[in-house]
Structure 1
Amino acid sequence: MAPVAPPAAETSSQGLADQLANPVANLISVPFQFNYDCCYGPADGDKLTVNIQPVIPISVGSDWNLITRTILPVVTQGETVRGVGGASGLGDTVQSFFLSPKNASNGFVWGVGPVILWPTGADAFSAKKFGAGPTAVMLKQGGGMTFGLLANHIWSFADAGNAHRPDVSATFIQPFVTKTLPDSTAFGLNVETSYDWKSESWVVPVNATVSHVFAFGKQPVSLGVGARYYAERPEGGPSWGARFVMTLLFPK
C-alpha cells in the first residue's frame, strides 16, 4: 500500500492550508509543535513540550484511506516544587489510526479507528502502561471554513514494569473551527479537553492560533503561533501557555 497523493488542485497554498485543518486529509505532513506552559505547582514552574506529530495517509483499496497520526512528546520541565529540581525526557507516544472514505459527501468528512498508548516516556512523564481504545473524527468543510470534533478514549491494559502506577482511563475531546483565507492564512480556535476518570480531574486549555503556508524553495512549510488559556485545570496545573508550530508538507 502506498501513501495517498492529494489531487493536484489541492497543492496550492490555500489548498494545503485547508488540508491542514482536516486531521484525516490526504496529505503527508510532519508537524513540530512547541508548547510552553507556565505556573505549575507552588514554585510556579514551567514546561516545554515538543510534540513530533507525523501524519501519513495510506490508500486502502479504491474507496478508503488509513490515516496514521502519531504524537511523540519531548518534555523539559522546570522545578514545580522548591528543592526538587526539574526533569526532561520523552513522554508516552499516542498513535491513532483513522479509516476514512476517500470521497467526502457535501464537504462532510469522518474517520474512525483505534488509538494506542505506548509507554515510551521517562519515569517523570510516563503512565508506564500500555493502553488502547477507540478514536473518531468528523468535520465539515466549505467556503474556507472547517468545523469539526476529534475524540478518543484510552484504557490501560498492561503494565510496563511499574505495577504500582495507577491504571489509565482518560477521555480526550477536541472541538475545533478554522477559517482559511485565500492567501493560506488560517485562524483557528480549539478546546483540547481531557478528563481523567481515575483522578476525576479536568484539563481544559482553549487555544487560539494563526498560521500561514510559506515556500522555502520547493518545500512548503506551515508556520503558526498561538496562545492558550486553561479554563479548567487540576490543583497545581498550568494557568496559561503559548504555542509555535512548524509543519513540513509533502504534497505529490
Structure 2
Amino acid sequence: MACKPLALIITGILLTPNFASADVDISKSESDQAAEKAAKELANPNTAYASLNLKLQYSGGYDGGGDSFATVLQPTLPFPMDNGDKLIFRPAISYVQNDFHMDSPTRSQHMDQSGVTDISFDLAYAPKMEGGTIVAFGLFASLPTGSNDLTADQFAIGPEFMFGKASSERVVGMFPNHLYGVSGDGADHSDTRINKTSTQVFWVEILGGGWTVGSAPTFSYDWNKDQAEVPLNISVTKTTVLNGRPWKFGIEANYYIEKDEKTRPDFMLSFNISPVVENKLASLFD
C-alpha cells in the first residue's frame, strides 16, 4: 500500500487551480478554440502539456471465467528546455482487483487478488524537430513495489525509442521498448526474469471540435514464455474546457487475437479521464 500515499502526493502537487504554466490562454468565448488546440496537443505523445491520466480498465473473457478491474494513475510530466527540447517523465501506478480462474491441464487456480502492482515509468528525451517529426529516446523501467502476490520481485530496465509524424489532421508513429530484469529475487532465475519486448503503434485522426478517433495497440513478446500478445485497439476521445481547464475524456477497447490463454483476458474496456494540469515540478529545473 506504499503507492497510495505516492498517488495522493502526485495528485496534490499537480492538481492546482493555476493553469497559467500550460501556455493555454482560456476564456469563455475561446473555450472551443482552446479545446481544439488541447485535443491536437494531447494527441501528440511528445506533448508540452502536463496531464494527469486516470484509466478505469475492465477485463473479461478469461478462459476459466471471471474478470478483473484496474485503476491506473499515469501522469505525463514534460520538462521543457530553453532550446525547445523536452524531458518527459511518465510514471504509472496501478491498483488491480482480480477475480478469475487460471486453468491448466491439471488444475484450475482461482486468482482472487487485490492490491498495487509494480510501479513502472519511462523517462524520455525529446529533441525539438521540424515539420511535425516526433522523436524521443530514453529508458523504461519497473520497480518491485507491488503487493506480495502482484509483484515481479525485481528491478527491470531497458531502452525505448519513439518515431512518428504529427500534422493538423493526424498523428502516427511507433514506440518500441524492451524490458529486462537486472536485480532482485525474481531476476535470479531465467524462468521468472522479465525479458519482454513491446511496441506500441499509434494512429490518431483529429476530427475537429475536440474529437479524435484512433488506434494504439501494444504488441508484445515474452521471450521466456515464447508468447506473443496481439490486441486490436480502438479509442474515441473528446476534449472540452471545464472551468478554464482542458479535460480529455475517452473510451478505449482491446480485443486480443493472440495471448497467453491461461492468464490473459479476451477483451479490455477502459474509460479514461485526462485533465491538463500545471507541472509545478518543472519550476525546480528553472
Q: If the length of structure 2 is used for normalisation, what is the TM-score?
A: 0.79
Whichever residue aligns with residue 120 of structure 1, its letter is T
Aligned residue in 2 for 1:65: 86
- Is residue 230 of structure 2 the alignment partner of residue 189 of structure 1? no
Q: 8 Å contact 1:22–1:139 — kept in the other structure?
A: no
5+ long unaligned stretches in structure 2: 1-19, 27-32, 103-107, 280-286
Aligned residue in 2 for 1:29: 51
List aligned pairs for 1:1-252, cutoff 5 A.
8=24, 12-42=34-64, 44-81=65-102, 84=110, 86-102=112-128, 104-159=129-184, 163=188, 166-236=192-262, 237-250=264-277
Report the CA distance between 1:7 and its aligned residue. 5.0
1:215-251 deviation per Cα after TM superposition (whole angstroms, max 9, x unaligned): 2212221110122210211122211121110001126
Q: Distance in 2 between the 1:5 and 1:111 partners?
A: 23
1:171-197 deviation per Cα after TM superposition (whole angstroms, max 9, x unaligned): 110101001122010101121111111
Change (3 A) 1:63 1:221: closer
Match of 2:101, SS state, is coil
Moved over 4 A (4+): 4-11, 160-165
Match of 2:164, SS state, is strand
Report the CA distance between 1:167 and its aligned residue. 0.6
Q: Distance in 1 between the 2:162 and 2:186 partners?
A: 33
Q: Distance in 1 between the 2:276 and 2:84 partners?
A: 24
1:34-69 deviation per Cα after TM superposition (whole angstroms, max 9, x unaligned): 111112242x12111121110101123424210001
Q: Distance in 1 between the 2:67 and 2:220 partners?
A: 20
1:61-101 deviation per Cα after TM superposition (whole angstroms, max 9, x unaligned): 42421000111111111132467351111111111111012
Number of matched residues? 247
5+ long unaligned stretches in structure 1: none
Q: Distance in 2 between the 1:162 and 1:170 partners?
A: 13
Q: Distance in 1 between the 2:185 and 2:22 partners?
A: 39
Q: 8 Å contact 2:186–2:193 — kept in the other structure?
A: no
Report the CA distance between 1:9 and its aligned residue. 7.9
RMSD over aligned CA atoms reads 2.3
Kindly indicate which of the two structures has a greater share of residues assigned to helix: 2
Report the CA distance between 1:135 and its aligned residue. 0.8
